[in-house]
Every structure is written in C-alpha cells, then in structure tokens.
Structure 1
C-alpha cells in the first residue's frame, strides 16, 4: 500500500489512536511502523493474534505489560565492554521482570483455564528465565537508581566508616556553633557543605577566631565558609572514604554490566517478544475500546459489512450501515445530493479494509467479512493544486489516470464525485467509460456521482448496482443510511414546497423536465415506497416468527421436563404411601399384641379368630403399589361436557379448561401454558364456571407475549435486576411453571448473591441451585416452585 492512500483514508489517524493503547515505547514504535499486509495468510495470522489477545482481555480484563523498556542500546554497550549506569541497569532488571511476569500470566491462563492461545503461547515460550540476573541487579540497586549497601561487603564497610566520620565531624562542628560567642560570630548556627567538605558560616570580622581553611564566601563578602582546623583531618578521611566508595560502586557496575553482556542474546529475544506482545495487546485494547469485532477474511474480493461504523466519527454521531460488495455485483454507484454521507461511505469501506489487513478488529457487527486486496486506490476530495495550475477536474483526472495504470482484479477502487468539475454531459459520459474500464479489469469499485445519467447505468450493466443515501423530506435532513439497490433521487421539488415555494412555480418547473427524467424519478419514488413497505413487513414477520419459535421451544422443553418428572413423582408418591402403610401396619401389630396381652392378663373376651380377622382386613386395606394413577374412578357425577368447563385430566393429575371439541369424544384443553387434545374418558368434570380471560404477562410495542422459562438480568443494575426477578417470579407462578432459570452471569457475584438472598425467603420457592455444566454453571440459578 502506498503512503498516499493511507493518508487519504486517514489510516494515520487510526495509528495515532492505537499508540495510546501501547504500554511502552517499544509498542509505540511498532505501531508507527504498522502497514496493511497484502498476503491472505499473513492477514489471517495478524487477525488471529489480535483475537487471542482480545480473548485474554475478555477473560482477565488486562495483561501485565508494565515496566518494559527499550534496552537494546544498553545491551549493545555492555557487549562492547561499556559500563551501564545504575538507571540503565534498573531498566534491564525491570524488563526481565516484566517478561517473567507476562510469561507466567499466559502459562497460567493456559493451565488453569484451558485457554487455547497458541500464538501468544509460542511467543512467551521464547522468553528465557533470567531471574538470577534480575535479582543480582535488584539486590545491588534500588528502583531510584541508588547503589545499595548490600551490593558488596566492601561497600557496606566503607559506608559504615563514612557515617561514623560524618557523625564525629558534626559533633565537633555542633560544639563550635553552640559556643558562648557563636551567636555573635556566626552568620547562622548551621553546618553546611562546600567542595564536599563540612564548613560553618563565619562573619568576616571574626575569621581569625576560627582557624582553618576558607572554602567559599557569600556574594556580599560578609560571610566566609570556613572548615575549622579541628575537623580538617576528619574531612580528609571522609574524602578518602568517598573516593573508595566511588571505586567500589564502579567495580559493582562493571561486574553487573558484564553479566548483562553474558545474557545479551536472551535479552535481545526478550525485547523482541515484549515489543510484539505490547503491540498485539494494544491492538486488542483498541478494538475493545471502539467495540470492534474480528472480521472473516477472504481472498475472493468479497466485502460484507454489517452495522459498519466509521471509526473516526464520535459514537454518538455515527450512523451504522450494511455494505455488501463482490457477491452479486462488483460495482456500486451511489447517487444523490451533497452532505448525504456518500463520501463517508467510501471512506468507511476503504478504512475498514486497511484496518482489517493490518490485523485490527473493525467497528462492525459479528459476521462481517473483508477481502484482501493488493492495492486500494482512492480519488476522494478536491485536490486542486494552485502551484500546478490544475483545476478541480484536472486534479481528479491526474489521480484517475494513475489509478488506471495500476488497477487489476485484486484492487479496491473508490471514486468520489466521478467526472465532476466539467460539462455535465461530457462528465457523465467520461464517468461511465471509466467505470466500464475498471469493471472490465475485475476490480471492486464504489463510486459516487451527481449525474442523473448514472442512475440508469446499473440497470444496463450486469454486476453493477445503484445505491443512495436516504434523505428525510419531512425534516429536510439526510439520515445517512445507505440504501443499496435504490438510486438517489432529487428532492428539490419536495424541499421547495416545504420551504414555502408556491404550487404554481413548482408545477411549471415540473413541466420543464423531460419525460425520461420524470419517469426515472417516479420509478425511484416507487422503489423507495416499496422498499419501506417491504422493510416494515419483514420486521413484523421476523418479530412474529421469533416469538413463535421461542414459544415452540419453550413448550417442547416444558413437555420433555413434564414427562421426565411424571414417573419420578409417581414413584415418590408410591414410596411415601408405602411408608405410611408400613407404619400403620406396625402400629396395628402393636395394638393387637397389646390386646392379646390384655386378654391373657385380665381374661378379656377377645377371640383369636377375631384378631386374625382384624389383621386380614388391615392387610387388604393396603393399596397395590406400582400402578399409575391414571384410571381412578370418578366419584363425581357424570355430565355432558361443554366449552369453558373446568376439568381434571386424570392421566396427568392436572386441572384444565375445555376450549373446543375436536372429535367425537375428544376436546382441546388449556392446562397452564399447554394446549393439548384429551379424550373425554380421561377427564373428570369439576365445575362449569368459565375462568376469566388471562391477561397478557407483558407487552412489547403493543404485542402480547408469554413469559419465558428463563430470565436474563446480565448487565442490569443491582436494584433494577432484583425488581425484574420479583416480577418474573410472580409471572412464572401465574403460568404454573414448575421450574425456571435466572441468568445473572458470573462477574463479581453481586447479582448472584442478591438473587439467592431474595429467593431463599420467597414463600413459593421450594429449592434453588446453581446451574450444572450444560445449564450455564455458576452464571445461572435454577428455581423450583412448591
């Protein structure tokens, strides 16, 4: 890609924004060098590495990349025997630490979370462990670049001697400045340093009183900074210790620099890997900031953008558009008035293509697709050159001539106002000829134009389609929505009418338009009306289809769940009944035993055969278990069933309402949210009072819908989420649901805790549990009702 097209499509502004997301100067420098790739395989690799980093950010929210420095020059100087200063060594240690930290971070993601990030894993595998060198530097130098006492035993000993000498010097000088005449003879009662020696400020007239060496004087000459003779020897000793200290520090720095040189190869690799990781994560953070997605990449010249947004327009102002090119047609001709957004459409397609080929995610919906082009050409804007004495038309033609020299089937070409700046008739003819030429070479083309002659161009050319940018005549403003398949139309008459121009003038103007132009405008108006109606019908149909599919899935799920639980409930009931009967039998045996005992003890007249008969009657009272309760005889009086009657469905053990008769002895029954066909023999009449019509549980845009078996509160505020849960539980109880699921997500756990606390105290809740692996895990709470 040439630099001119990158500037024309403002790719440099994208890079300027991307730089802000780099964590180090290494990343910034790599961003500045970023250019779109032209190899299909390379673009896919660049997109995959960005996607891996985006996956890490979605899972962890960050990547530890602080403390990285460009230490290449430090390493090279150490290699040739140079001595690194403490600050440079600190940067080396910090970079080693950053590499070790990001290496452990990526490895833990793979081990603990099973994350598949082969590109990032391969990069951190190249990082060598240099912990000993890092510790050697950190044990010798602190973060501020000061060499520590612990750097060597010799340095510690020297500094201890220095501190003892300094203490003795201060004690002697303090005795002098606290003397009885000191306040009169000294300018100030302080100890200061001149030429790295401790001195006291003495007034000029009393210099003879303090014998010693004068090191400095004040600007007025009234104060002399004198080193008293009493501390000269101590200062000399301190000076010698200071020289020894510098020599030892120099030795330590030389030793550490040599160790850096020994690890030079590993350090160069480390810098290269960290530069790459910083760059990759900068791309991912940039994509996250503008809510971008990873596009699919093809090498077939196919572009499919859904809800595409220009990344340099503020989010609150940009209008998203669907743009398709390279499938049924390879050329789009956008017609319509100025300020409608035609040029922005061109720049959006061009800039998103460059971003995709540079490995950046794009501001468009999931499922968008981009092609890899060898070249992107653009003639956008008025590039009139005063120096070259070129008119608007001439400057455009200079660009177009250059484009025609290089364009081929692997090119994307963007023409803005093609043929503008000259006679309309000649300009439109030239525009058609240029489009034909570029089309014949197999390039993908998007062109904008004012010329009405090009509205008919697409109808006469296979592979070419018209488009326009929508204009709202009511508000007299463009909506910036791209309408593919509909040519732009002039709204001059409608705008003039709304602005107050008389009907007489407008009618006269219409009569001056030739018949052919009038027919084209009428055709466009008809197309626009049909499109709006078709869009509305599609939205309505789509809405009803989605609701129907959702309701069908819910019914199927409820039926499966019902049949799964039915047998379980039968078995539990039988087991409970058996336990009750067994308990009754045991109690009766106890009673009979007591009666026998009483008979023997008191001679009561209870015959043995009477006891046997009593036990037999008790045994026959035990129901035979293991049979479904579906054939129970009704004790209720039989009557002729009618629509609206409330009945008991004996096969399910559930109440229902008769809707209509569907056969000789069959009815359609409403049981909760289920509608089913049931035979009369499987129903028992309860009462004939008709139930009131159920009110819809909720309304969306005036349409009723049933409550679902799942509630999704992810992203909701805490208080709003609990209000939604409270209302949803009431709706689910009204719908007779046995069980529902509340999706709150994992996150910080605040929503889950709040939902659990609320449900534990709800009178109608029987049991709550977290979802299993196939139900959403800890991000879902499953609620069972009593």
Structure 2
C-alpha cells in the first residue's frame, strides 16, 4: 500500500508512533504501537478511531478509569502451563494486580453501559472468573508476600522461627551484657556476620568466651564471635527457615496447579490489558495534539479544516507559538492540487501535513483538525519526498525520482493518493518541466488524488487549463518579505526569487544582470503573479477588518435586542401592576360610594348626616390618590448599619437583612438571594416594620446560611460537568460574601480534572490567581483560588 517503504519515515509517521509509545504503561502496549499499520478497511478504521475517541472522552470528561497495573501475564500463563513448574510470590502478585485491574475496568464500563460501545466490545463475552483472584488472595497478601497462615504447616514453622529467634536474641543479650561488664567487648553493639548475630570482642579477649568466630575487623583488633550458647539456637532457626522455604514452594506449586486450567482465560485478560494500554496511549497523544475524530467516508476524498501538522504543533507548543492552520479539499472535482510559492514558504509542510494526517486516520489515530473534517479511505499512498539517490544502485537524484514516477504511472488509480515534492527538479528545467507535465497529465487521466509542489511555470499553466487539477499558492507578505504559511487555493504563486535574493543582500548589479537574462514573457508572468499576490493580500486584510467590524456590529445588535426585550418586559410588568392597583382602587371606591348612598337613603337624606358621609368619602378618596414621593435620604452617619440590621434600598421598596459589611459595601440577604450595595444606597428600618413571618424565614435561612458556609469544596470522583456546576455555586457565594480564597479538593489522577477546573475559573474576572497546596498537605491535588 505504501510506496516506497520509507514513506512513513519521510512523512513523520515513525515519530508519531514514538510519541504514542511514550504514553504506554507496559511493554505489551509499546509492542502494539510498533505494529500500527495503515489500513484500508473502512470498518476497522472506524472502529479504531471510535475506540480512541471514546477513551479520550473518558480522560477529559469522566471519572478516571481504574488502571493502575499492567504486567505481562501472558508469559506467566505460559510458564504456569508447564507441569511441575510454579510461579514465584512476585509473579503471583503480578497476576493478582493485573486481575484486579481487569475486574475494576469491566465494572467501570458496566456502570456506564451503552456510553462507550466500542470500548465495551473489547471485553464482550469475556467471562469474569473472580475465583482465580480469591485463590491467590488466600495465599498472597496485598504487598505481594506469602501469607504466614497460607497453610497450617507454614503457620507452625513461622511461629517456631519467631520463638527460636526470640530465645536466641535473649540468650545473646545476656552473654553480651556479661562480656561488656567484664570489659571484653569492643566499642559498638551486636552485629550480623554471615547471617548470624555476633558479639564484637577485643582480639585479646577472644579466648575468654566459647564460640565460633565468623569475622574480624580490618585492623585485626576486633573479632566477631557467635557464642556457644546461641550457636545451637541459630542452627535451629536456620533449619526452620529451610523448612519454611520448602513449605512455600509446596504452597506455590499447589496454587499454580489450581491456576493451570485458567491459563486460556488469563491470556484473554492479557489481551484486554494490552489493548487498553494501547488505546489509552492513543487517547493521551490525541489530547497532546488536540486531536479530533473526523468524518470518515469510503470515497477517495479529503476535506481538512483547520488542520495542523502534529509534530510541528507539539514543537511550537513548547515555544508558546501557534501553527497556522491548513484548509484544503481534494475530491472528484479537484483531484490534484499543484502548490507553488516562495522557498521556505511552507509548501512541503503543507503537503506533508496532508499525507501524515491521512496516514494517521487510516491507522486509527485522531488528528489535529476540526471534527467536521472529512477523510476518505485510499487503497494506496505513493510518496516522492527528498533525495533518494543511491550509490549501491547507481541512482542519481533525478534517476531516483524517475524510478518513482515510473511506478506511480504504472500502478496508480482512482484510489491512490500521490504526494510529490519539488515535482520535476533534479535535471535541466528545459527538459525536466515537460517530463513532469507529461507525468502529471498521465496521473490525471488515471483520476488519481494528490498534491504536488513545484516552481515550474509550465506546471502552473497546465494546472490552470486542465480539468481535475487546481493551482494553489502559499501566501507571501511581499512588503515585509516574509512567508505567511497560509494556503490559498485557486491561483499559482510566485517563487519570489528576485525579492528574496534582494532581501538576503545579493548585489543589485547581479540582480539586474539576472533579470536581463530571463525571457520577457517569463518576466511578465512572474511580475503578474507578484502583483496578484499583493492585491490578494490587500483584499484578505480588508476582509479580516470587515469581519472584525461585522462581529462588533453583530454583538451590539444582540446587546440592543436583549436590552429592548428587557425594557419591554419591565414595561409590561409595570403596566400590569398599575392596572391591578387601579382596579383595586376603583373596586374600593365603588364599595365606598355604594355604602355611602345606602346610608344616605337609610338616614332619609338628613343634611347633617349627609355632610358627614361626604366628608368621609372625600377623606377615603384622598387616601387613594397617588402622591409624588419625596426623595429618600440615605442612612445618616450617626445611625451606623451593623450586621443583622434590617435595611431598605433607597431607590426601591425592597427590604433585606445585613449579612456583612465590607468597607463601603453592604452584603444584603433578600430572601434566598444575596446582593451587594453601597452604604449610601440603603436606609436602616425598624425591625417592627418587617412582618414576623418574613423575619422568621430570614433567621432560619440567610443567617444560618452565612454561619454554615465554608469556602471549601471536595469534587473528587465527580464528572467534569458536575464538578464545575458545584464549584460555580460555591464560588458565587464566596464572591457574594466577600471571601478572599476558595479551596478546591479535586485529587491528582492524570491531572485532567485539575486542568479542566483551572481553565474554567480563568474566565472569572473576580479570580486573581490559582496555586497548588503545599506538597506536604496535598500538593497539586488541591487548588487554592484567590479572589479579588
């Protein structure tokens, strides 16, 4: 499929594989990365891409997958298959840890059944035999050591060793104390020689004690003796230790025999762990390069949107620089893109980006491009990049190029992607240009897809006049004389040979002489291309400015619409309230008039009585007459506001209780809401003016809320969205109540939740800075947020 064989290296695919291997936890995962190949099976490509996409989603948005141990249990299972062989304590521990990981992963996906179908398919129909783990747990503890009570015999031996060691220690302590009292010992304490506890004696006193001398000091002044009284006890300990080893081998052999029938299942578990490590590494690499899953189609076409070269992206990321994104389309209408433009303008990088991303997709890797990009499946990928001259094969640079062109023309078809760098170079341009044009015409007849870079004018003219071929150029700032690294499809580009030579400092007379030597028509073509480039850049800059202004206009229009909607809603609310108030006044007035008429009639029109009733009617009407309110005064300085006081906002009838006073600001609780107002905007009111039921609700909610509020939150184990939602609620209350810091416990893990939280909090202008907790108290598992 790939031609030549070194195409993967030329495009940088080998470097991509090395970066993925760096994320693997096991040798098995790294071996799988080495076996990554470019595929042409549509279903397999979709499956591998979906697995990487789902794992990336887990790492970014979900709780961490419980992956902690990856051991090569395949070799252990093969060892256990052999009759009479047994696994060591360390090997059983590796099996134990690996099975624990397998069962935890399966449980993780079972809890999220249906969310990650492609990852769930990795262990579909895989039986869960926890009996294996139970058998191992009965013998091996959590630290990988054999349990002292793994068998009754081992427990008795272990107890005997402890008892003999204690007796030997007690006896040698007595001898050492006696020898020290007699002044026979050298400076120092009891020491171990040849695995035996010994007393350091001065050489001249060695015959004053009976025992076995194991060693002496370099100077010969100190000897290390094992007393006769302890010798027999130590031999007993040594014999018991031999017995213990034999019993351990017996236990491990029996456990291996029990494990032997499950070796096929262990191999299946090994396969699952290997695949998980492999997919995890691909997902982590995708996060590094900001990779996404494009739309994959079976047609031979490409539509890359905001694509970047992954290796260039990582290199620029370290230097805090941005890669200029690439937008290119290759399909039935535009089969081959002929890229021209200045040297060092990015033509080769552009072409390599297309080739490398195509290889990555067909190898099941996410790519650094927008997720609405479209990538087809090609059966063949032919590449001609760089100098492949060979001394052994007696090939010159141009001969090597022609050999590849021969293969391309003979074997390419409509499902082939062809990438050719510096098409036609390596020989006399007078002949190299026509040969390259003929090759390009032949490839076009075969309806191949691809991209070529060139400086030859005849190829630019041929592409502009031939269906299926499309010119493209790398933009160049001919004012500042530097490349812009942007691909512009639709027109050829100038090589800017004279302009670049002039910038480098080639003497003017040399440049003039060179200009006179090129043909008039060629000079006109190149001048025209330069002028077109300049005009294109001016149009591009103008378009950018217009787009910026249009975005600003759209923002203002949106704000205006929102304000209009807000004012209309407020107007409607005020009219409703006014109508309701007027209605109530009219109803009350009607009742008063009717009552007055009724009383006049009942008093038989007595003048005095009538006059009194009319006066009462006028008083009631005056009460309901709306009078202009006198401007309210702010709270006088001598009537100082304190927390717990009841206040009313000057410009409304809203009342609330003071929670806290911060400088010239007052934090007020209004029901379940909190607001901050300047002192001069509030007026203290009497507690008696507030209804009892309102005071009770405030006392039971707002005051207790303040007392119980703590600027600290624990989001460990929560999903990304849930954690951000809970943090936002606590942050809002902390800001409202004037707290200076907020403590967030998010745990360490892979650092995904920590990064998500910090990126989210940076959008708040109230957040001054963020930093880790001290390493002794949690380190980067805790974030302190400092508020302005």
Q: CA deviation at 1:167?
A: 1.5
Contact 1:336 1:488 in 2 (8 A): yes
Q: Does 1:429 align with 2:450?
A: no
Deviation at 1:185, TM superposition (A): 4.5
Query: Of the two structures, which has the highest relative contact order with CA contacts closer than 8 Å and spacing of 6 or more?
Result: 2
Tell me how far apart the structure 2 counterparts of residues 752 and 327 of structure 1 sit (CA, whole Å). 53
Task: Show CA shifts across 1:641-675 (max 9, x none).
Answer: xxxxxxxxxxxxxxxxxxxxxxxxxxxxxxxxxxx
Superposed displacement of residue 427, structure 1: 0.6
Which residue matches 2:367?
A: 362
Q: For the structure 1 residues 243 and 608, does the alpha-carbon distance in structure 2 shift closer, same or farther, using more than 3 Å as the test?
A: farther
1:52 aligns with 2:54: yes
- Find 1:445's aligned residue among 443, 447, 450: 450
Which structure 2 residues correspond to residues 412-561 of structure 1 after superposition, within 5 A? 412-495=417-500, 509-550=514-555
Corresponding position of 1:311:
310
Task: Specify whether residues 152 and 502 from structure 1 end up closer, same or farther in structure 2 by C-alpha distance, changes over 3 A only.
Answer: closer
Counterparts of residues 240-279 of structure 1 (less than 5 Å): 240-279=239-278
Q: Matches of residues 603-614 of structure 1 in structure 2 within 5 Å?
A: none
Q: SS state of the match for residue 305, structure 1?
A: strand
Worse overlay, 566-575 or 267-276: 566-575
Check if 1:387 corresponds to 2:389.
Answer: no
CA distance in 1, matches of 2:592, 2:255: 92
1:555 deviation in Å?
A: 5.4
* Contact residue 155 and residue 248 of structure 1 kept, 8 A: yes
Matches of 2:541 and 2:556, distance apart in 1: 23
Match of 1:92 in 2: 95
Does the 8 Å contact 2:32/2:278 carry over to 1?
Answer: yes
Structure 2 vs 1, CA of residues 409 and 590 (structure 1 numbering), >3 Å: closer, same or farther? same
Shift in Å, 1:192: 4.2
Look up the SS of the partner of 2:528 in the other structure. helix
Distance 1:31 1:349 in 2: 22
Secondary structure at the counterpart of residue 445 of structure 1? strand
CA deviations on 1:62-109 (whole Å, 9 max, x unpaired) are 43322121211112222334211111111111112212332333344x
Aligned counterpart, 1:229:
228
1:686-765 alignment, distance < 5 Å: 747=724, 753-756=730-733, 758=735
Cα distance in 1 for partners of 2:228, 2:7 equals: 78
- Residue equivalent to 2:414: 409
**Contact 1:293/1:366, CA 8 A, preserved across alignment:** yes
- Would you say the 8 A contact 1:43–1:358 is kept in 2? yes
Q: CA deviation at 1:570?
A: 4.3
Structure-2 change in CA distance of 1:566 and 1:131 (3 Å): farther
Q: For the structure 1 residues 27 and 498, does the alpha-carbon distance in structure 2 shift closer, same or farther, using more than 3 Å as the test?
A: closer
The alignment partner of 1:312 has SS state of helix
Q: 1:779 to 1:530 in 2, by over 3 A?
A: closer
Gaps of 5+ in 1: 597-604, 625-631, 636-728, 731-743, 762-777, 782-786
Aligned position for 1:656 = none
What SS is found at the alignment partner of 2:178?
coil
User: CA shift at 1:509, angstroms?
Assistant: 4.8
| Closer, same or farther: CA 182–748 of 1 in aligned 2, 3 Å | farther
| CA spacing shift, 1:44–1:565, aligned 2, 3 Å | farther
Q: Is the 8 A contact 1:581 1:622 kept in 2?
A: no
Mapped partners of 1:390, 1:556: distance in 2: 72
Q: TM-score normalised to the size of structure 2?
A: 0.71
Q: CA RMSD in A?
A: 4.2
Q: Assess if the C-alpha contact under 8 Å between 1:124 and 1:273 holds in 2.
A: yes
- Point out the more displaced range, 256-265 or 159-168: 256-265
CA–CA separation in structure 2 for the residues paired with 1:276 and 1:503: 64
SS in 2 for 1:146: coil
Cα distance change of structure 1 residues 558 and 328 upon mapping to structure 2, 3 Å threshold: farther
State the number of aligned residues.
637
Deviation larger for 341-350 or 23-32? 23-32
Worse-superposed segment, 334-343 or 538-547? 538-547
Aligned equivalents of 1:614 and 1:258: distance in 2? 112
Name the SS for the 1:345 alignment partner: helix
CA 591–165 in structure 1, closer or farther in 2 if over 3 Å, else same: farther
CA offsets per residue over residues 114-151 of structure 1, 9 Å max, x none? Answer: x7321123335555444454355345434543323243
CA deviation map 1:309-344 (0-9, x unaligned): 221221226433222222531112222343232222
How far, CA to CA, are the matches of 2:555 and 2:139 in structure 1?
A: 68
Conservation of the 8 A alpha-carbon contact between 1:87 and 1:144: no
